[in-house]
Amino acid sequence: MRVINRKYRGERKQRGLVVILFTLSLLVLIGFAALAIDINHMILNKSRVQNGVDSAALSASLALENGASVSQAATAAIDTIKAMASAAGNDELDLNVVGAQANSAATKEFTFQSSDGTSVIVQFSNNPITFPAASALSTSLDIYTRVAVEGHGLQSFLIQVFGLSKSVKASAVAGRSSGIQNSSNIAPVGICEQGATTFGYDVGTEYQLAGKTEGNSGGSGECKNKNKCEPEAPNSGDIGSGNYNYLRLDGYGNGLMVLVMQ
């Protein structure tokens, strides 16, 4: 009887352990679910915001290139941000920009505030690395634009169980690129086996990069056998969309012609 009583008392002492283990396991499961849902949700919206500031920076730089003032360029950037935020699927990124403030007498930085507390900053500089500009902005030099979105809050799902919240930020810089000299139509590119001065091409002759080969009844004469097409018969056939056969010129074609010029 004593043994039975001791066993009974031991079982009674272990009551409640299942509840504790279940609670701990549930917290771990919620943590993994938060990683799967909230983190992916944040990464998705981070990409959306990044795409928006990329487009906004390009819009501002294009406006400057077309003779707009920095104030007009900043407005162009914000208009692009608004268009991005109001697009289908971006409802959560609706920034609702309510105004702008010029933070510098040299008009090199503009801060736009959103009704939800998000800051959209448009900065201008003659140096693509230094923002805002360390000195007064010179319109006689190349002007670069930086657009940044900071502190944009996102809806929280499971991470709010742990007292956490989500926000994203992104920035992009755009401006005039360095000049390209001595270039012509260099795409598409083909690789030939010959190593002569013209690398197997005949100057002034059109070559077809993709299309039917001799084996599947494409083309005729020079156009079929040597991938060389005469002006009166420029197309030797087609193997269908999506076929490119980029590296070798063995009679393949997709209706795409190359005029080799030297």
Whether 3 maps to a domain, the answer reads no
Q: Are residues 206 and 251 in the same domain?
A: yes
Q: Are residues 48 and 168 in the same domain?
A: yes
Containing domain of residue 231, as a range?
185-262
- Given a cut of 70, whether residue 222 has pLDDT beyond it is no
pTM of the model: 0.58
Residue range 147-195, pLDDT digits in tens: 999 888 888 888 887 788 888 889 999 988 766 666 655 544 554 555 5
Whole-number Å distance between alpha carbons of 27 and 50: 33
Burial letters 93-108, b for 16+ CB under 10 A, else e: bebebeebeeeeeeeb
Q: Are residues 155 and 262 in the same domain?
A: no
Considering 174, 205, 231, which residue would you say is the last residue of a domain?
Answer: 174
At 184, list the tokens.
Answer: 């012509």
Place of tokens 């941000």: 81
Whether 40 maps to a domain, the answer reads yes
Q: Are residues 262 and 160 in the same domain?
A: no
Considering 142, 174, 206, which residue would you say is the last residue of a domain?
Answer: 174
- Given a cut of 80, whether residue 214 has pLDDT beyond it is no
How many domains are contained in the chain? 2
61 — pLDDT class (breaks 50, 70, 90): very high
At 161, list the tokens.
Answer: 């169980």
Residue range 73-121, pLDDT digits in tens: 998 998 898 888 888 777 777 666 666 666 655 558 888 887 777 888 8
Residue 145: Cβ-neighbour burial (10 angstroms; 0-12, 13-18, 19+): buried
